[in-house]
Amino acid sequence: MNKFDCLIIGSGVSGLTSAIKLAENNLSVAIVTRADDPNNTNTNWAQGGIIYSDDKELVSDIDKASSHTSNITAAKIIEANSKDILTEVLLEKAKTDFDKDNDGNLLFTKEAAHTHKRIIYKGDYTGKQIQVSLLNYLKNHKNVTILTSHTAIDLITAEHHGISLKQRYEDNAVLGAYLLDQKSGKVRKIISKKTVLATGGIGALYLHNSNTDGARGDGHAMAKRAGAFVSNMEFIQFHPTTFYAGSFQRRFLISEALRGEGGILYNSKNEAFMQKYHKDKELAPRDVVARAIASEMIALKNDCVYLDITNKDSEWIKERFPTIYSYCQKKNIDITKQRIPVVPAAHYTCGGVKTDSFGKTNLKNLYAVGEVANTGLHGANRLASTSLLEGIVFGHRASESILDTISEQDFYDESKIREWINGDTEVDLGLITQDIQTIKQTMWNYLGLTRSKARLNRAKAMFSELSDEVQKFYKNAALHDELIGLRNAVEVAHMVLNSSIRNKKSIGCFYLSDS
């Protein structure tokens, strides 16, 4: 089938939540993922937890963590609606299991920059619990089709086909997407009444990051090419603590919940250094902790700092942080007795495709939800445990908006949309890997935790050259997932660069050493 009422690109928390109400109302829904397993998402790797509270300090905590740049309307929506939406979606429908006390009451924890305990969790694998329970709930709906190993190439728009707005259709409408079926190598034309981008962030474009490989900015690039507004892309949040296993090893997240539960950061001189940087010490906003760690590493010429949770009972540690305990054990660190070597890594994209408070973009029939979207909630920096929350709240609101308007709509005439013409030149996959590596190195070194005019200029020169190259061979190439990723990566790298050049002032997680 190539026609769906709703096409959702991405199978993490925001995409799955968007699908729920649509599926319940008998719309045909396709959920697309380039992974071969729909559970292979950033959501699945989220450890800490999710805010479950409507307390009056929530808006001010979100705003404070963002250096007072948060969109207060979005924050108020979270405060007013998130508890009800989470109750409905997670507790009642998906039956997500969270940790409870002996009387069956939900347990709450705290993370950085929260005035009090308001985060519910499942050990240190909250994201996995949410991911699996949502997917199981949706699998009971026959009108939901999950397309795995399908890479979205481009959104289909009326404009793309030279159909003038007045002539044929309304302003810049999105009509579906072209998808590469990775197994057959064929391109499918999927027509949809509504399209939801839920493709996640761009963390994987950094050499060191806490994300899955899929977080490469496909949604941002497709949206921009189709004419959507993308904003705030300079605000890349670095998580202060990921496991340091050597320069070339991938970074495994060491949840902020460890610091929330009393973990202390030490440098190699055995100093608990955070008090030098912020009155809230380990629980200062993420950008402050991440830069403090980087400063200590530079000052002492060390590769990492250390996180110590050994002050807690060892059985409690194993039960509370089973994933982290077993990961570290495999790396020969017993966290009940030893400090954990940690470094910052790229973690979350605060900006993205600009949306209103129902996930609507400036393009007709195109929604964006979760990390790919910029509702403005996070402004220049994100409060911990708001990412799963934002995905659920705005995914849910997007589905309500879709339901309100979809009945007035017909499918666009498929015959008026051309088939994709695939090139036939085989690309050298080694070259693609090399180009991706160049992008990751450049993002890390010049568009990372600390930026400067000189670094931005260097990045500009590197990306311009790469851009020309990639455009040249993309034109006639036979498509592969990797090539689609590279084309998007170059465009997204430019978005981060251009936003960084435009912003002359350090704020939140954007830090210019010479502003």
Instruction: List, in order, residues 6 or more apart from 359 with CB less than 8 Å away.
Output: 18, 196, 367, 368, 369, 373, 375, 394, 395, 397, 398, 401
CB of 259 or CB of 494, closer to ligand SIN? 259
CB of 169 or CB of 327, closer to ligand SIN? 327
* Rounded least distance, CB 237 to ligand SIN, Å: 8
DSSP line for 430-448 = HHHHHHHHHHHHHHHHHSS
Residue 336 near ligand SIN by CB under 6 A: no
Query: What is residue 132's three-state secondary structure?
Result: helix
CB of 255 or CB of 355, closer to ligand SIN? 255
Of 61, 505, 98, which Cα lies nearest the Cα of 284? 61
CB of 6 or CB of 373, closer to ligand SIN? 373
455 catalytic, yes or no? no
* Rounded least distance, CB 127 to ligand SIN, Å: 9
CB closest to ligand SIN, residue no: 48
d(CA 508, CA 235): 8
Catalytically annotated residue among 34, 286, 291, 397: 286
Per-residue contact string for residues 118-157; x = within reach of ligand SIN by CB under 6 A: ----------------------------------------
- Residues numbered 231 to 250 that lie near ligand SIN (CB under 6 A) are none
Query: What is residue 466's three-state secondary structure?
Result: helix
Per DSSP, 343 falls in state E
* Rounded least distance, CB 508 to ligand SIN, Å: 15
Stretch that binds ligand SIN, among 166-174, 251-259, 446-454, 500-508 (CB under 6 A): 251-259
From candidates 18, 41, 43, 47, binder to ligand SIN by CB under 6 A: 47
**C-alpha 402 chain-centroid distance:** 22
Of 218, 229, 228, which Cα lies nearest the Cα of 159? 228
* Lookup: tokens for 120: 């519910």
CB of 350 or CB of 489, closer to ligand SIN? 350
* Rounded least distance, CB 225 to ligand SIN, Å: 29
* Rounded least distance, CB 445 to ligand SIN, Å: 24
**Residue whose pair of structure tokens reads 């490989």 in the numeric block:** 213
Residue 101's alpha-carbon distances to 98, 107, 259, 324, in angstroms, are: 10, 6, 21, 22
- Residues numbered 4 to 23 that lie near ligand SIN (CB under 6 A) are none
CB of 199 or CB of 387, closer to ligand SIN? 387
Say if residues 228 and 217 touch (Cβ distance below 8 Å): no
Of 225, 235, 227, 147, which Cα lies nearest the Cα of 192? 147
Q: Which residues pair with 152 in a beta bridge?
A: 179
Residue 48 near ligand SIN by CB under 6 A: yes
- Residues numbered 257 to 286 that lie near ligand SIN (CB under 6 A) are 257
* Rounded least distance, CB 234 to ligand SIN, Å: 19
CB of 198 or CB of 290, closer to ligand SIN? 290
* Lookup: tokens for 42: 């950033």
d(CA 80, CA 54): 6
Dmax (CA) of the chain: 71
From candidates 255, 355, 442, 488, binder to ligand SIN by CB under 6 A: 255
Say if residues 480 and 431 touch (Cβ distance below 8 Å): no
Residue 349 near ligand SIN by CB under 6 A: no
CB of 385 or CB of 488, closer to ligand SIN? 385
* Rounded least distance, CB 111 to ligand SIN, Å: 7
- Residues numbered 384 to 413 that lie near ligand SIN (CB under 6 A) are 384-385, 387
Instruction: List, in order, residues 6 or more apart from 407 with CB less than 8 Å away.
Output: none
- The number of beta carbons lying within 10 Å of the beta carbon of residue 379 is 27
* Rounded least distance, CB 374 to ligand SIN, Å: 17
Residue type for position 335: I
Query: What is residue 231's three-state secondary structure?
Result: strand
- Residues numbered 359 to 388 that lie near ligand SIN (CB under 6 A) are 384-385, 387
Q: Which residues pair with 180 in a beta bridge?
A: 151, 187
* Lookup: tokens for 193: 């009444």
Stretch that binds ligand SIN, among 55-63, 252-260, 337-345, 405-413 (CB under 6 A): 252-260
From candidates 63, 218, 256, 261, binder to ligand SIN by CB under 6 A: 256
Stretch that binds ligand SIN, among 36-44, 64-72, 255-263, 301-309 (CB under 6 A): 255-263
Say if residues 228 and 363 touch (Cβ distance below 8 Å): yes
CB of 222 or CB of 384, closer to ligand SIN? 384
Say if residues 165 and 158 touch (Cβ distance below 8 Å): yes
* Rounded least distance, CB 361 to ligand SIN, Å: 24
Write out the residues near ligand SIN by the rule CB under 6 A.
47-48, 255-257, 384-385, 387
Report the catalytic residues.
Answer: 286
